[in-house]
Chains A and B, each alone.
Chain A
Amino acid sequence: MTEPVYARKRIMGNLPDILQLLFTGLAVGSIYAIIAVGFTVIFSSTQVVNFAQGEFVMIGAMVSYWLVGAEHGPHLPLLLALPLAVLAAMLVGSALGWVLMRPLKDASVTSLIIITVGASMLMHGVASLLWGKDPVAVAPFSNTSGYSLTLPAALTGPHAYPVYIGTQELWVMGLAALVVLALTFFFNRTMIGKAMRAVSVNRHGARLIGINVSRVVVGAFALSAAIGAIAGAAIAPISMASYGMGTMLGLKGFAAAIVGGLGNFPGSIIAGLLLGIMENFSATYLSSQYKDAFAFIILLGVLVISPQGIVALFRRRRASV
């Protein structure tokens, strides 16, 4: 066993490497963040943890693949395909929300969660029939593949590697930022967004002041599906798309949602980004074998230290100062 210890020493303090890890970490983290936000939207309005969230990601990826690149597909331009993929996911999402309406009134939250598990399996099954079981390649949004940035030698010392800035990664981050901005606007400025917030605070109160809670619930599912689909379409060119891609992404997003404090909108974004970055750093500096475990170790740690999420932790610190 010749563990390359010297390698680890050399990496330490190596600026280009750190920047590279930060960049790819942020890209993956943006995806976790958007998925976590999707969890949050549904959780706040229904208290349901939607285990089909990852499948929305898959739908976004597979539909946009089929519309743009599939052999027997319609070969639409991306600009048209992306909204259509989001629309498809929204339809599926609203259907799920609608299905949940009836049991939402009297069933326990656990059985509602089981329904989302069933829905996730259903989408899995249908997707594998529609698009086959093999992973597919998805064309990136723009043709330029990426830029290699060489940092000045004064900063890095000799023989430093350039930092690779992928165009698709930039798209992912941009879209994530756009989603966050749009959601902020939606929840603060639009009527239905405010109604959703009202429902999340107090469902009965919201009903009393005349908010149609059923419509809000269906709306939350549609919105969450749309967010997931954007994440899926954006990550697919990097990760490839397949009918099973949603499960792990969904779980990581869920971990982020919890680390951020379930139901906490800014918390889940911060946690998603942090998780992506930490995962990347741990894979390089600790061990890639246990890379996937780190997200969940962080999850356990946060639950022990600050169950309300990391944001609550900072808030408490500030309050105690």
Chain B
Amino acid sequence: MSRVRPSPTLISVLLGIALVALAPCVVTNSYALVPLTFIAIYTILVIGLNMLMGYAGQVSLGHAAFFAIGAYTSAILSTQYGCSPWAAMPAGMALAGIVALLVGMPCLRLRGHYLAMATLGFGMIVYILLMEWPDSPPLLLATLGRLLHLPASTPWPFTGGASGLPDIPALAIGSFVFHTNLQKFYLTWAFAILALLLCANIVNSRVGRALRAVHGSEAAAATLGVNIAAYKIHVFVLSAILAALAGSLYAHAVGFISPPTFNFIRSVDFVVMVVIGGMASIWGAVLGAGTIVLLGNWLQDVGAKFPRLAEFDLIIHSAILILVMIFMPAGIVCTARDAVLRRLRGRATAPAAAAPAHSEEVATP
């Protein structure tokens, strides 16, 4: 495939910053910034998952759990322990990273889709824990407390159970609180762009090359001395940390969290975002998150105008999903790129080049 010379990462990042900065000028309705804010939050999570799926060739069916760990750690620390949200956020990320290490270690040493199965189980367990925590929390913690001789009145954290945790403070710098739609929009996108930059850098670095080698052929990579398992675990932990960051931002942006937001369906939603956007493509993450959020938003609007259609919401949503997957199995980014390339080069060489299986080149020409 043809290669474009100037550093594309830099250009696209600058372009992205410009787009974000100018978006509020184009999008004059401030309510329209709300779905855009959710896109930023999901983008952060989806980039990590995209790297995991695209470069490490592993699927996670439990990323909502890491999303939850970030959200609940942030919410609990800032509402129950008077912690600053800025301190709570990295705490959640660290916790998610450690948990991911524990979950990923045994599975990622093996070949095959064991991580998908393990994360599915892990996601369900976290969801049930969130639901049932307040009732019998401390079975584990109480034992711990007894071992450490803590007083009985120790303020154990509580998740609010199925009823959820309300009144989570918004993020603030000094006395400046990120309150309005516009402020939240800029805040979340600042994080999203940082995350995009981070991942673009990783992809273009030595680690990235190793990852692509792993994705191309594990056996070949192993012969070249790439420690496959270690790389896979790194990517998985990174994706969990990003998911926790997204969860933390979600909690502070919405101000209320409850378990249904973090169930299995949500994990699947995230995978759908990755695949729709295009795997192994950092910008595919933005597109995938954008497509799903805007589609949901648009269907909600259509439902408001034509109440009868509201009932068909799920059917339309799933039909579009199935059609996209059948006709663009490599995701929007890759399919669009292939189409453009084909136009550019004429039809003569098209068939072989457009095979969607190799999509590594998107982020790193």
Interface flags for B317-336 (1: CB within 8 Å of A; 0: not) read 11101100110011100000
Contact residues of A: prevailing secondary structure = helix
Residues on A with C-beta less than 8 A from B124 are 251, 292-293, 296
Is B128 a contact of A292 with CB atoms below 8 Å? yes
Residue of A nearest to B58 (CB): A110
State which of A80-88, A112-120, A189-197 sits at the interface with chain B: A112-120
Interface flags for A240-254 (1: CB within 8 Å of B; 0: not) read 000000010001001
Known A110-B279, A251-B264; contact A129-B125, beta-carbon cutoff 8 A:
no
Residues on B with C-beta less than 8 A from A19 are none
Known A107-B329, A108-B329; contact A125-B279, beta-carbon cutoff 8 A:
no
Is B136 a contact of A125 with CB atoms below 8 Å? no
A292-B128 Cα distance, complex, nearest whole Å: 7
Is A106 a contact of B315 with CB atoms below 8 Å? no
Q: Smallest Cβ distance from A313 to chain B, in angstroms?
A: 14
A287-B318 Cα distance, complex, nearest whole Å: 37
Residue of A nearest to B107 (CB): A303
A290-B135 Cα distance, complex, nearest whole Å: 11
Is B314 a contact of A124 with CB atoms below 8 Å? yes
Residue of A nearest to B264 (CB): A251
Q: Which of A114, A117, A299 contacts B121 (CB 8 A)?
A: A299
Residues on B with C-beta less than 8 A from A290 are 128, 132
Residue of A nearest to B329 (CB): A107
A23-B356 Cα distance, complex, nearest whole Å: 51
B8 at the interface (CB under 8 A from A): no
Known A103-B329, A106-B357, A300-B125; contact A111-B314, beta-carbon cutoff 8 A:
no
Q: Smallest Cβ distance from A256 to chain B, in angstroms?
A: 12
A300-B124 Cα distance, complex, nearest whole Å: 11
Residues on A with C-beta less than 8 A from B289 are none
Residues on A with C-beta less than 8 A from B122 are 296, 300
Is B322 a contact of A118 with CB atoms below 8 Å? yes
Residues on A with C-beta less than 8 A from B117 are 258, 262, 299, 303
Is A300 a contact of B357 with CB atoms below 8 Å? no
A247-B265 Cα distance, complex, nearest whole Å: 9
Residue of A nearest to B274 (CB): A110
Residues on A with C-beta less than 8 A from B135 are 289
Interface flags for B256-280 (1: CB within 8 Å of A; 0: not) read 0000000011001001100110010
Greatest chain B CB density within 10 A among A120, A125, A251 is at A125
B11 at the interface (CB under 8 A from A): no
Greatest chain A CB density within 10 A among B129, B264, B322 is at B322
Residues on A with C-beta less than 8 A from B314 are 121-122, 124-125, 128
Residues on A with C-beta less than 8 A from B312 are 125, 129
B100 at the interface (CB under 8 A from A): no
Residues on B with C-beta less than 8 A from A262 are 117
A126 at the interface (CB under 8 A from B): yes
Is B136 a contact of A287 with CB atoms below 8 Å? yes
Q: Which of B53, B315, B326 contacts A99 (CB 8 A)?
A: B326
Known A102-B326, A106-B356, A290-B132; contact A114-B275, beta-carbon cutoff 8 A:
yes
Known A125-B312, A289-B132, A303-B118; contact A119-B322, beta-carbon cutoff 8 A:
yes
A297 at the interface (CB under 8 A from B): yes
B110 at the interface (CB under 8 A from A): yes
Residue of B nearest to A304 (CB): B106
Known A106-B355, A289-B132, A289-B135; contact A115-B53, beta-carbon cutoff 8 A:
no
Is B121 a contact of A115 with CB atoms below 8 Å? no
A115-B312 Cα distance, complex, nearest whole Å: 19
A120-B132 Cα distance, complex, nearest whole Å: 28
Q: Which of A110, A120, A303 contacts B53 (CB 8 A)?
A: A110
A115-B110 Cα distance, complex, nearest whole Å: 26
B171 at the interface (CB under 8 A from A): no
List the 5 closest A-B pairs by CB distance, nearest first.
Answer: A107-B329, A125-B314, A121-B318, A296-B121, A125-B315
Q: List 8 A-B contacts (CB under 8 A).
A: A49-B116, A114-B275, A115-B322, A117-B268, A125-B315, A247-B264, A287-B136, A300-B121
